[in-house]
Structure 1
Amino acid sequence: MADRGGLGRSGSRFSAYVEGLISVIGHADRARPLRDYCLGLLMPCERKSVEPMAAVTAPERTAAQHQSLLHFVGEGRWSDEKVLAKVQEMVLPSIERHGAIEAWIIDDTGFPKKGTHSVGVARQYCGQLGKEDNCQVAVSLSLANAHASLPVAFRLYLPQDWTKDGDRLRKAGVPEEVDFKTKHEIALDQIRHACATSLPRGVVLMDAGYGNNSDLRAAITALELSYAVGILSNTTVWAPGSGPLPAKAWSGRGRPPKLLQRDSGHKPLSVKALALGLPKSAWRTVTWREGTADLPPKKWTGLGGF
């Protein structure tokens, strides 16, 4: 038998959460559609789009509910920043009761699409599919500890095919101030905003799609954040105890010297070459989560200093 008390408490918490969101979406007419939309996201329908959500949230008036949700999603003019800030206010304390924030996770999410009209849709890599295909991609920053994670920033990536086409942008309702930014630039904007709003800091985690960008790594260091990121094996680094020689003074005659002066014994090397040259004592195996079913725990072997 279901725990009615537990279901009641869950329902009360859900209602309080939605009421918090309603307080920042700017118009009383949006309250009911927001409640229905959030409920639809939790209901066991096959697709989380407005048509099946309308059928499960208002089966007696599906057509009218479909139009209501469609208008709510398509015409909503609330502030994403205010909504995310409210979510942080309500959810972050609950996460921190289980431990301090340990990580800032930069990632992107792909949403497969069939047509060409959805904002930002293009043929690009989609993580859900594991290949390039027609999809939208959004860049996100999440705060996490061992208990849970919370997205605190989320922005749709617009490919240059979109940002160069003014007519297409206007038809899709993209604000005029939105221009092209790479995923790395979006990620850095999100990290800077998180620093500026004094969110609890953690180690920045990124896969190689972001971690291999040296400008992004340098900017994160300038913000006095630590990071642990994926990089490609051919990324070049300076071995411990080495580095670029200082630039030679220039007299003003002839060609100015390069900023980095190198000689045959003073060169960067690939991280693969550096790693393979280290002794076995520099490596360790780390188990980072329990396995499921009959699968063993996930393991990673890497340098002991990371």
Structure 2
Amino acid sequence: MTISLDTVAKANESTNLSRFCRDTLSPLSRSDQRRWGEVYVRGLVTVPGRKSIRRICETIVGARADQCLQQFVNQSTWRWEPVRRNLAEHVTAESTPKAWVVRDAVFPKSGTSSVGVASRYVPAAGRTLNCQVGLTVMLAGDAAAVPVNWRLLLPRCWDADERRRNRAHLPATQRYRPRWQVMLDAVEEMRHGWGLAPAPVIADVAEQRDVEPLLRALEERGLGYLLRVGQQVPAWSSRAGANRVPTVGDLALLAVRPSARTLNWQIRTEARVAATRFVASPVPCEADAPGFGNVRMVRRYQPARHLLAQWTVGRNRPRATWLTNLNVARLPQLIDLVKLDGVAAEHLDRMQDDVGLRHFEGRSYRGWHHHVTLAAIAYAYRLGRELGDSREDLRIRPYA
């Protein structure tokens, strides 16, 4: 009897995936939960097209066991926090992430019953969508990023809607909170609850008008950050009766001077090569003279707080602006961190269909958290398989 190489490869693949699931799902105390967890992850990895619970069951289990899998994902009481922590430890065991990148994940929905769903403007889409919005913290390296922690961003309209809250099994403690507070909570859980060594926090808060509370909270905790901010954001907190505070955009215009710390960079795409310039400048905390025209003369600065601006050659306004407390003397390394936000965005976008992140059909709060946790495990496995032994940054080589 001849066994084809393809059959052997499939058997090895199945064994590797089982071993990966056994390790990452080990915090689940019950054997039946670990078994159904592997079925779901295996389905997210291997089932083509839409990865519904019914299709996963038909493909993986070979029987109509969708009620059992439905119960495991949507109603079972297993805790997702230890599983996420375990996944994070697996990722960091191979290589220390260069950053914790915070991104939003959008789940378009029809209807109004899915937990946290609302009609809201989505900056990434440039339009208003009926959707859920999740926040994830991703462990990022030069070529890959894995989401390990999640939060569901609840809109205000869900706070007083007891009917929808009860139907979605939303805990009483879960209420609307500003995005920066949700983000800080997720980061603190990873740092103190999980005991992970912190990395610089990268986030896009360009849609947030007041970023000072987040900046102060990160600084008080001794966390490094690189936050993309809008150019209309005030450069510092003003005192009562003070003159108009300059914006980040104002400081970016003033920062372009011969003595500024700058670095020219080339961005290569398939279509062309674009020249861009990065400029770093300290952020003052208050002006010594009325108005902000003399902001160049400011002598008092926020401790280690700097502005980073990206200029496209030939433009009269910066393309993007960031606030950071990292060492701007190492500007190339700082720009490498800027690029990690794009790496994280690319991988989160791939997850939407590759492992069915946006295919979840459940409506409950518990089900949403179970699904995104298992989808992250599925993506970590696929990523490790793709990168294999050539991976030098964020490796998951034992499962490649």
- The TM-score normalised by the length of structure 1 is 0.78
Residues 209-252 of structure 1: per-residue CA shift (max 9 Å, x gap)? 369522111111111122111111112226xxxx97xxxxxxxx
The equivalent of 1:87 in structure 2 is 87
The equivalent of 1:33 in structure 2 is 36
The equivalent of 1:303 in structure 2 is 279
1:40 deviates by 0.9
User: Unpaired runs of 5+ in structure 2?
Assistant: 282-307, 309-400
Equivalent position amino acid for 2:277 in 1: T
The equivalent of 2:189 in structure 1 is 193
The equivalent of 1:179 in structure 2 is 175
Equivalent position amino acid for 1:278 in 2: A
* Deviation larger for 101-110 or 204-213: 204-213
Equivalent position amino acid for 2:166 in 1: R
2:127 pairs with 1:131: yes
Alignment counterpart, residue 161 of structure 1, candidates 140, 157, 162: 157
1:209–1:285 Cα change, 3 Å: farther
2:248 pairs with 1:271: yes
User: Residue 217 of structure 2 aligns to a residue in which SS?
Assistant: helix
Equivalent position amino acid for 2:60 in 1: T
Aligned residues: 275
Matched-pair identity in %: 25
1:89 deviates by 2.4
Residues 16-42 of structure 1: per-residue CA shift (max 9 Å, x gap)? 221124422232222332121101101
Relative contact order higher in (CA < 8 Å, ≥ 6 apart): 2
Residues 81-137 of structure 1: per-residue CA shift (max 9 Å, x gap)? 11101112222212x1xxx32211111110011121111111123467442211111
Residues 233-285 of structure 1: per-residue CA shift (max 9 Å, x gap)? 112226xxxx97xxxxxxxxxxxxxx55646xxx6312222222233543434
Contact 2:207 2:230 in 1 (8 A): no
Contact 1:101 1:201 in 2 (8 A): no
Distance 1:66 1:128 in 2: 34
User: Residue 236 of structure 1 aligns to a residue in which SS?
Assistant: coil
Distance 1:7 1:24 in 2: 27
Contact 2:158 2:175 in 1 (8 A): no
Distance 1:71 1:141 in 2: 27
Equivalent position amino acid for 2:167 in 1: K
The equivalent of 2:76 in structure 1 is 76
Larger Rg: 1
2:110 pairs with 1:114: yes
1:268–1:138 Cα change, 3 Å: same
Distance 2:248 2:226 in 1: 14
Equivalent position amino acid for 1:303 in 2: V
User: Residue 157 of structure 2 aligns to a residue in which SS?
Assistant: helix
1:182 deviates by 2.2
The equivalent of 2:146 in structure 1 is 150
Contact 1:116 1:122 in 2 (8 A): yes
Equivalent position amino acid for 2:120 in 1: Q
User: Residue 113 of structure 2 aligns to a residue in which SS?
Assistant: coil
Equivalent position amino acid for 2:196 in 1: L
Distance 1:198 1:143 in 2: 14
The equivalent of 2:200 in structure 1 is 203
1:226–1:23 Cα change, 3 Å: closer
Distance 1:210 1:141 in 2: 18
Contact 1:210 1:216 in 2 (8 A): no
User: Unpaired runs of 5+ in structure 1?
Assistant: 245-258
Contact 2:255 2:279 in 1 (8 A): no
1:3 deviates by 7.0
The equivalent of 1:224 in structure 2 is 222
Residues 143-184 of structure 1: per-residue CA shift (max 9 Å, x gap)? 222143232310111212112122321221112332322222
Contact 1:54 1:66 in 2 (8 A): yes
- The TM-score normalised by the length of structure 2 is 0.61
Distance 1:297 1:70 in 2: 50
Distance 2:264 2:78 in 1: 47
Distance 1:297 1:78 in 2: 50
1:195 deviates by 2.5
User: How much is the aligned-residue C-alpha RMSD, in angstroms?
Assistant: 2.9
